[in-house]
Every structure is written in structure tokens, then in C-alpha cells.
Amino acid sequence: MSFIPQILFPSQRHWLSLFCSRISRKRLPPGPRGFPIIGNLFDVPQSNEAFVYRNMARQYNSDIIYFNICGKSIVVVNSFEAADELFDKRSSIYSDRPRMPMLNELDVSGSGFDWHMAFMPYGDAWKEHRRLFHKELQPPATRLYRPRQLEEVRKALLRFLESPDDYLSHLRHMSGTIILSTAYGIDIKPKDDPYVEVIEKAINAVSLAGNVPSYLVNQIPALKYIPDWFPGAHFKRQAKQWRGYAEAMASLPLQFVKESMAKGTAKPSIASRFLSSMEEEGPRSPKKEEVLRNVLATVYVAGSDTTVAVIENFILAVVQNPEILKKGQKAVDDAIGTDRLPDFGDQNSIPYVDALVKEALRWRPITPLAAPHSVIADDEYQGYHIPAGSTVVGNAYAMLYDETVYGPDTHLYNPERFLTKEGKLNPHVKHPEAAFGFGRRQCPGIDIAESSIWMAIASILACFDIAKPVDDLGFEIEPEEGLIFGIVVRAKPFKCTIRPRSTHVPALIRDGLQHSVLT
């Protein structure tokens, strides 16, 4: 141990030598060799990260792989077995978040997203937010929101009739209205809605700021102290701009509810119900109001893009696989007939639609790499040492493409992988909930998201034929295959034709919408 300083006393050299020898004997998970000081800085992929990490796991024949970036340990988890063991069974030490200076540390509060539950450190504040989230956005509470979900899905069907080429805008409007009306009682305008404009700017900002590898300050937090005018400090100027969007997104909708309540015009919502209950207990608590503000803003960020992205996956899949569309239409017709639209009473009675939803989640995972966790204590897994403070990332893509779990050809959209030969849901095939994260940090809004997705898919199948568009010569135009990467990964925009299945579909949609509004 010649590197031990010789100025230490013999007993000190003995203990330091013993400590270093123990550290050196700890076996880290396999991964690229790296370089001195910078470690694996150049080994971390800049694109298609989840795919690269899965291949690395296969190369090293290990469920977990390891990187060291400038002294910071990063562990990528690539199997359901490892995810279950670390994120669930050992959740007490794997539920923290790593530091994200770009989001919440620059100057006063980084890009201003310190209110977002997903980025809060594990502790009492996060638990308080989580309790409210669970209370309002998990069964049985979510049953209260289903009439509004049904109404907005049917309004989207009507817009599909009127302007089918704008189907993506209609899906975004549907998703945004479901969340804003549920959370705040806000009815958004079809176009140029001021709340949507602010929120979309904020969501774009959090998508960029939350991409940890994109900003060196996330790897080297000391960079947050450099002055704004310093060369390369553009990230600080970005953070200041984004902070305004973040604050507006969290505060403006709740302020609308408070003003509406004062005027007596507030519509039923989570916010109005919560604020009313606070008033019954006495003066409103600023702390509780802040928790409500944070949770509702998180609901929108977490739910709006994810719902739309999964329905996009489904539409792309049936454009590419018209035989799947026909099977889905037949399954809906067989279950409910052709003289009414699906409603929530039909859930769990159309297994093929359930399988379509599951496969849309699995085939194009909306978060291929889950939001990073941080381990708060030294740990060991399968003989490998995981140092305290390591960033631990769940590779949902690797798990959802695991052929030992989901069968062959996982790159193909095949809902029948979730079904038995008799056409029933196969209970032995794992539900693709990895798309929503892991452990205690898994998105708690799964129920409302999946119910909106199910209703949209079942309703589209009942009403529309979807196909590839054709060019002027009558040749089919293949949809583009690419992806748009952010916090939520989405398909690149593609064109398709959406037409009513029969002449009576328009009347069916209008009657169904009128019925949902009346009920």
C-alpha cells in the first residue's frame, strides 16, 4: 500500500491500510472499464440509452451494470427479478432521489420544479404529498371521476368525425380536460387555452431539465456556483426562464379555483373539495394548501402526456397491423353489440381490449428508463457491492422486452401474448406496470391513466376504421417509425386515415355523448 501517506503514525497507517484493503475487496457490478478521474463519462450513451443498457447487461451476463462518472456511482437494473428485490423488497433504502441541480438547486430553486413529487427526496415531505395523491387518485376515489372521463372520450370521438387529421390534438385536448377538470374543475378551450399554453411550456421545460445526462451540472453540482455570465453557463439562464413556467403551472390553476369558490362558481374538483374541507376545520393552512398545489400540478405533468403517448402507440400499431384492428372491433361488437358505445361497466368483460392496452404499454414503453432512484446505504446484490449514494435506474425497456417473460418477438405489437388460447387474459403474463416506474416511487395515478386509455381504445374500436393513408397514385404511405425522447417517449407524428365504420356511427356518438352529459 505504497500510496498511503508516510507521515501517518504506524497505527494510523495500519487502520487506513485495512480500510483500503476492505474497499478494494468489494466487488462492484460489471460494466465498462472507464478512465481515471472521469470514469465512464464517455461510456454513457447519448441516445437510445435503454436499448444500449439492455445489450450491456447481456454482454456482461448480469441483471445490473455499473458506471462511475467523475466519482458518482450509477447502477442500471435490467430485470424484473432485480427490480423486485431492490425497489420493492428493499424500498426502505432505495426510494430516495439523486440530486438534480438543474431542476431544483440552481439559485433559489433551480428550474422551479421542486414542487414535483417525482423529484422530491424521500422523507416526511414526500410522504405527506404521497398520502394526498393516494387518497384522491387511487380506487375507490377514482370512480368519482369516471363520468367526466367518459364524457371527454366521447367528445374526442365527435372531434374525430369533424377533423380526423387532427386526431393527435383531439387526444391531447381529451387528456388535458380530464385532468384539469378532475383536479381543478377547469373546462379548457379547444384551441389557445391559456392554462394549456402555460402548462405545455412547463412540461417541455421539465422534460428537458429532468434529462439528467444532458446537463453537466447534474453530474458535477459545484457548477451551479459559476456566475451567469461565465462561458458555458447557458444552463443557468435556461433555468431562470423555466422557473417562471414552473411557478405559473403550479399556482395559476389553484388560484382560479380559489377565486371561483369566492364567487360561488367553482365546479366540483379535487381542489374545491379539499379547500372546502379545510375551511370547515378552521382557517386554511398555508402548508396544506401548498401540498395540494404541488400534488395537483404533479398530476397534470404525470398524466397528460403519458395517456396520449399510449393511445398513440395503439393507433400506430393498428395502422401497421390491420388484422389486429379487425379483431379488436369484433371483440367490442361481440361484447356490447353495435347499438351503443362502451362504458365503464364493460371493463373486464372484453379481454382482447385489455390485452390491447397492456401491449400498448409494453411495446413502446413511455418511460424506457424510469426516474432515477438513490440508495441511502451500502447494499449488496448477488455478491455485488452497491455503494451508498449510488443513482439506481430501472430499465423498463429491458424488462418489457424480456422474451422469457413476454414470449418471442417482443419488438412486435402482439396483444395475444397476454391471452390464453381460449381468448381470456393470461394471469401468468406480467402486467407491464414497469412503464410507470418502480417501488414506492411508482406513479400512483396508474388507475386513472389506464381507465382513460381503456375507454379511449374501446370507443375508437367501436366507431372507427383506421388505416394507412395513400398518396396521389394510390400507394399506401408507411408511418414513420422514429421516437421523440423526453421524460415521456412518444412516437414521431404520423399520418393515418380515420373513418366511421358505418353511416350510423355519427348518430351513435352524439347519442352517447348526450347520455354521458345527462348522467
Beta pairing class for 72-77 and 391-394: parallel
Q: Beta-carbon neighbour count of residue 264 at 10 Å? A: 6
Whole-angstrom CA distances from 383 to 9, 20, 29, 76, 165 are: 35, 19, 9, 16, 55
Please tell me the distance from the alpha carbon of residue 212 to that of residue 117, in angstroms, as a whole number.
16
Burial 123-151 (b: 16+ CB within 10 A, else e): eeebebbbebbeebbeeeebeebbebbbb
Q: Which three cell numbers stand for residue 454?
A: 381503456
Please tell me the distance from the alpha carbon of residue 415 to that of residue 454, in angstroms, as a whole number.
14
Please tell me the distance from the alpha carbon of residue 192 to that of residue 343, in angstroms, as a whole number.
30
Backbone CA torsion sign across 511, 513, 517, 519: positive
Please tell me the distance from the alpha carbon of residue 109 to that of residue 275, in angstroms, as a whole number.
26
Query: Containing H/E element for 466?
Result: strand 464-467
- Enumerate helices (H) and strands (E) in the chain, giving the number of each: 19, 10
- For the beta sheet containing 64-69, the strands, ordered from the edge strand earlier in sequence to the opposite edge, are 64-69, 72-77, 391-394, 373-374
Q: Are 15 and 360 in contact (CB under 8 A)?
A: no
Q: Cis omega (within 30 of 0) on the bond before 140?
A: yes
**Residue 463 annotated in ligand binding:** no
Binding residues: 443
Binding residues for heme: 443
